[in-house]
């Protein structure tokens, strides 16, 4: 029967142990070769699949190679390059504005602090955490994307709803040396098994400790809906 372990710490430890065994070398799926490319890719990834972002940035990064290229870009032309990305007009504006700020306020270098990054257009804590972790090798928090949000609630690790509240709730119970990979393990599991609409609970290595498992429960704790 799918029953959450007695404490959140025990639940997290077991989730990490099992997912680490399944995914021993988790990696970010966005493709990039510089910090600016990473920043652009993460801004574009909001409410868009990494696969779609990678398809667009493959040609985008050939056209725009430097921070200055984005800062000086014609915004309409930049948006046209991104027209298969969700909210591409807004994202083009964010990217151009962020690049201008990086040039003017940070000597053309993508910042390496949470406060400086979140001051940039289109950059919240999720984006900033990704850039810090994968661009600067600094881990100051937990990236809470849709997979982490869904699975952390579905597994009974948190009952918070908003990403920033979830991150704050997770940080004391997820060991700090696992903050970075916790995200990647849950993303991998969310893509392969614990999907949003039709999770494969019968093949899930966490089913016995999952208080949302369809084999034992009527409610999906991710959103409170009935299966």
| Residue numbers annotated as active site | 126, 145
In a 3-state reduction of DSSP, which class is residue 137? coil
**Beta-sheet strands, E only, within the chain:** 219-220, 225-226
Nearest partner of 222 among 194, 181, 185, 187, judged by Cα: 194
Which residues 6+ apart lie within 8 Å of 180 measured at CB?
133, 139, 143
Rounded CA separation 52/162 (Å): 25
Work out the angle at residue 25's Cα, subtended by the Cα atoms of residues 19 and 27, and round it to the nearest 5 degrees.
100
For the chain, the first-to-last Cα distance in angstroms comes to 16
């Amino acid at each position: 029967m799918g029953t959450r372990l007695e404490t959140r710490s025990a639940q997290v430890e077991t989730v990490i142990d099992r997912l680490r065994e399944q995914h021993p070398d988790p990696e970010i799926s966005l493709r990039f070769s510089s910090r600016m490319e990473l920043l652009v890719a993460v801004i574009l990834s909001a409410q868009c699949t990494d696969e779609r972002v990678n398809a667009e940035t493959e040609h985008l990064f050939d056209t725009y190679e430097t921070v200055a290229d984005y800062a000086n870009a014609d915004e309409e032309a930049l948006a046209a390059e991104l027209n298969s990305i969700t909210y591409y007009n807004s994202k083009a504006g964010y990217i151009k504005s962020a690049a201008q700020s990086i040039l003017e306020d940070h000597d053309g270098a993508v910042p390496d602090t949470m406060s400086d990054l979140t001051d940039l257009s289109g950059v919240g804590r999720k984006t900033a955490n990704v850039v810090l972790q994968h661009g600067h090798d600094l881990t100051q928090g937990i990236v809470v994307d849709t997979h982490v949000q869904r699975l952390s609630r579905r597994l009974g690790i948190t009952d918070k709803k908003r990403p920033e509240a979830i991150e704050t709730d997770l940080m004391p119970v997820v060991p700090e040396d696992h903050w970075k990979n916790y995200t990647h393990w849950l993303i991998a599991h969310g893509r392969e098994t614990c999907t949003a609409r039709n999770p494969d609970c019968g093949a899930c290595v966490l089913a016995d400790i999952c208080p949302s498992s369809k084999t034992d429960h009527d409610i999906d704790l991710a959103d409170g809906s009935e299966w």
